[in-house]
């Protein structure tokens, strides 16, 4: 994974934590909004580390751009300075809030550490490899070992120890399956992890001219987390929620206008 990626992860993680605390600690509402903008930029960095480049850009454009502009606009329109709401008073209520949130955090963290156990997953994957081997042996006629090995349980699904190289090879295997024609886009229901399941562009949506205008050959399928691969999912399997989002935004626009306008006598 290299040296820089963990370093940037820790920078972004600490920055996100500190600026999140700043959002709820600052007295001045304007400072809170500015801290939230910084927070959104750290989140965008984390998304880039998670190979979600499209969402990182959307995060900056929509959150740090559009939403926070509306927040800052409202704050400045209402001319809010240091709030005199009476939060300066330290009370038992604050202590209880922090304690209960800490309890929730340790509950979630403990549950995560139990469920996403790297060793368990690693054992599960080795077990899967053994079962695969046993399946091969079964075809060779050695049924005894196969039955013996298949009784072991394993944890499917959570690939916590999967590294960058494995992700890349999995994705290229997916692309290769697509190129061979053994996999089709937008087929079927949810499955946990299936290398043959495509996240790439169907032929009808490919743009063959991309090669001619200087892009890298073979890149037209879209890479993991890039705009093309996400948007292909949006307009194929998730087309109904995507359209409903348009209706939601329209109703939000109408609702915001009706609520915020002054009542005409």
Q: Which of residues 182-241 bind another protein (CB under 8 A)?
A: 190, 192-193, 195, 199, 224-225, 229-230, 233-234, 238, 241
Q: Kindly state whether residue 66 participates in binding another protein, applying the rule CB under 8 A.
A: yes
Please state the three-class secondary structure of the chain as a single string.
CCCHHHHHHHHHHHHHHHHHHHHHHCCEHHHHHHHHHHHHHHHHHHHHHCCCHHHHHHHHHHHHHHHHHHHHHHHHHHCCCECCCCCCCCCHHHHHHHHHHHHHHHHHHHHHHHHCCHHHHHHHHHHHHHHHHHHHHHHHCCHHHHHHHHCCCCCCCCCCCCCHHHHHHHHHHHHHHHHHCCCCCCCCCCCCCCCCCCCCCCHHHCCHHHCCCCCCCCHHHCCCCCHHHHHHHHHCCCHHHHHHHHHHHHHHHHHHHHHHCCCCC
Residues 165-184 touching another protein, rule: CB under 8 A, are 167, 170-171
Of residues 115-154, which lie at the interface with another protein (CB under 8 A)?
116, 118
Of the listed pieces 126-134, 175-183, 206-214, 243-251, which binds another protein according to CB under 8 A?
243-251
Q: CB 51 → another protein: shortest distance, Å? A: 6
Q: List the interface residues with another protein, window 83-102 (CB under 8 A).
A: 83, 85-87, 93-94, 97-98, 100-102
**Only segment of 82-90, 132-140, 143-151, 176-184 that touches another protein (CB under 8 A):** 82-90
Applying the rule CB under 8 A, the residues between 24 and 63 that interact with another protein are 24, 29, 32-33, 36, 39-40, 43, 46-47, 49-52, 54-55, 58-59, 62-63
In angstroms, give the least distance from the CB of 141 to another protein: 34
User: Is the Cα torsion angle 117, 123, 129, 130 positive or negative in sign?
Assistant: negative
Find the shortest distance in angstroms from Cβ 105 to another protein. 4
Q: Which of 240, 257, 264, 265 binds another protein (CB under 8 A)?
A: 257
Q: Which is nearer to another protein, 148 or 244 (CB)?
A: 244
What is the chain's length? 265
Pick 115 or 147: Cβ nearer another protein: 115
Task: Please state the closest distance from residue 238 (CB atom) to another protein, in A.
Answer: 5
């Amino acid at each position: 994974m290299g040296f820089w990626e963990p370093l940037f992860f820790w920078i972004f993680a600490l920055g996100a934590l500190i600026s999140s605390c700043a959002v709820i600690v600052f007295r001045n509402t304007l400072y809170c909004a500015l801290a939230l903008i910084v927070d959104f930029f750290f989140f965008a960095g984390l998304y880039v580390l998670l190979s979600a480049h499209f969402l990182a850009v959307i995060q900056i454009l929509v959150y740090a751009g559009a939403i926070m502009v509306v927040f800052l606009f409202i704050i400045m329109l209402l001319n809010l300075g240091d709030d005199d709401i009476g939060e300066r008073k330290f009370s038992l209520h604050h202590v209880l809030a922090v304690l209960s949130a800490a309890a929730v955090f340790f509950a979630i963290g403990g549950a995560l550490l139990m469920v996403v156990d790297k060793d368990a997953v690693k054992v599960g994957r080795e077990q899967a490899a053994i079962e695969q081997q046993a399946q091969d042996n079964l075809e060779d006629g050695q049924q005894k070992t196969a039955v013996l090995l298949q009784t072991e349980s394993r944890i499917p699904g959570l690939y916590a120890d999967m590294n960058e190289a494995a992700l890349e090879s999995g994705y290229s295997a997916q692309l290769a399956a697509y190129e061979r024609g053994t996999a089709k886009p937008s087929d079927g229901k949810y499955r946990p992890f299936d290398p043959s399941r495509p996240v790439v562009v169907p032929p009808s949506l490919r743009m063959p001219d991309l090669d001619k205008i200087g892009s890298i050959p073979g890149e037209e399928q879209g890479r993991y987390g890039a705009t093309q691969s996400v948007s292909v999912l949006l307009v194929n399997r998730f087309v109904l929620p995507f359209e409903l989002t348009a209706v939601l935004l329209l109703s939000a626009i109408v609702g915001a206008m009706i609520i915020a306008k002054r009542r005409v006598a």
